[in-house]
Each structure stands twice: as structure tokens, then as C-alpha cells.
Amino acid sequence: MSDHELRVSKIRNGTVIDHVPGGQALNVLAILGIDGTGGEQVSIGMNVPSDRLPAKDIVKVEGRELSQNEVDVLSLIAPDATINIVSEYDVVDKRRLDRPEYVKGVLACPNRNCITTDDEPVDSKFEVLDDEVRCVYCDTIIRDNLTEHIGN
């Protein structure tokens, strides 16, 4: 790397979500429930050059690992992402994402009458199909605007 290049700093402990499609970094943060008010240390690179993708985003979260539910929803918007676990500056685990059969939590069912959106303590659960996800409780389909339904 030459002096003219600048990259997002390395982190000490936490998670690096790499190879995210360009433009999806803020949606990644939404999936993680991070909006800055929780005090998390986050670095983002958007539309940076990448060999694997036309342009990629990268999200680095200090002091935080991802839950399986978060990883599952992440796989829907960033199927080629890499999740790197960093410990004392070293990458100690690196994994690619599998497309899950179901995603639980994280997405909210758009149906106001769905059992998952009223006061019942029922977590959302969607079956993952080829081009859409379907609420297992009320069959409501989310297809094109998945990221508008993050937040549960």
C-alpha cells in the first residue's frame, strides 16, 4: 500500500464485516441495531475498491460479536460477506455466510395484525425462500424492500 492510500484503521477486538456489497453498510448497522447512541466504536468504509466485488463496504465494530440471528439476516443482504473475529489485532476466526432456512428476530413482520407485532412475546420468524421471505405465522411476504423491515 502506498503513502497515497488510506484505509480504515485496524481494530483491536471485535468484528469486521468485510465484502459487503457497496452501499449496504448502513443496512448492516441497522441489522446490528447500531445507531450510534449505544456508544459503540464503529468504522465504516463505503464503496471502496475490492478485487471480489465492483465496490465493497466494510463495517468494523469494536468490542462486539454478532448473534446467529444477526448473521442470518446479514446473509440475505450480503451473501458474500466475510465475518472476521478480531482478538488483540489478529483475525482469529473468519467465516462466510450460509443462506439460512429461517431468520428469527431482527426483521419485523409488516402485518400489523401478526402475532409477532402485537404485545405477545413472540419473536418474528420468516421462512427464507428464493427471492423473498415469508412470515411463518401470517404468511406475509417481504420481497424487494427487506431493509425497510429491519427492527424487532
Question: What distance in Å separates the CA atoms of residue 95 and residue 97, rounded to the nearest whole number?
Answer: 7
Q: Confirm or deny that 143 is annotated as ligand binding.
A: no
- The H or E element that residue 131 is part of is none
Question: What distance in Å separates the CA atoms of residue 133 and residue 139, rounded to the nearest whole number?
Answer: 9
Where are the alpha helices (H) located in the chain, listed in sequence order?
A: 25-31, 68-77
Question: What distance in Å separates the CA atoms of residue 52 and residue 82, rounded to the nearest whole number?
Answer: 12
CB of 105 to ligand CTP, least distance (A): 26
Kindly tell me which residue out of 43, 82, 140, 152 binds Zn ion, with binding defined by CB under 5 A.
Answer: 140
CB of 29 to ligand CTP, least distance (A): 16
Looking at beta carbons only, is 25 or 109 nearer to Zn ion?
109
Q: Any idea what DSSP says for residue 22?
A: T
Kindly tell me which residue out of 20, 59, 97, 114 binds Zn ion, with binding defined by CB under 5 A.
Answer: 114
For cell 464485516, name the residue. 17
Which residues contact ligand CTP by CB under 6 A?
A: 10-11, 16, 18, 58, 60, 82, 84, 86, 89, 91, 94
Question: What distance in Å separates the CA atoms of residue 42 and residue 54, rounded to the nearest whole number?
Answer: 23
Using CB distances below 5 to 8 A depending on partner kind, what does residue 146 bind out of Zn ion, ligand CTP, none? none
Asked if 138 is part of the footprint of Zn ion (rule: CB under 5 A), the reply reads yes
Binding site for Zn(2+): residue ranges? 109, 114, 135, 138
Residues that bind Zn ion (CB under 5 A): 109, 111, 114, 135, 137-138, 140
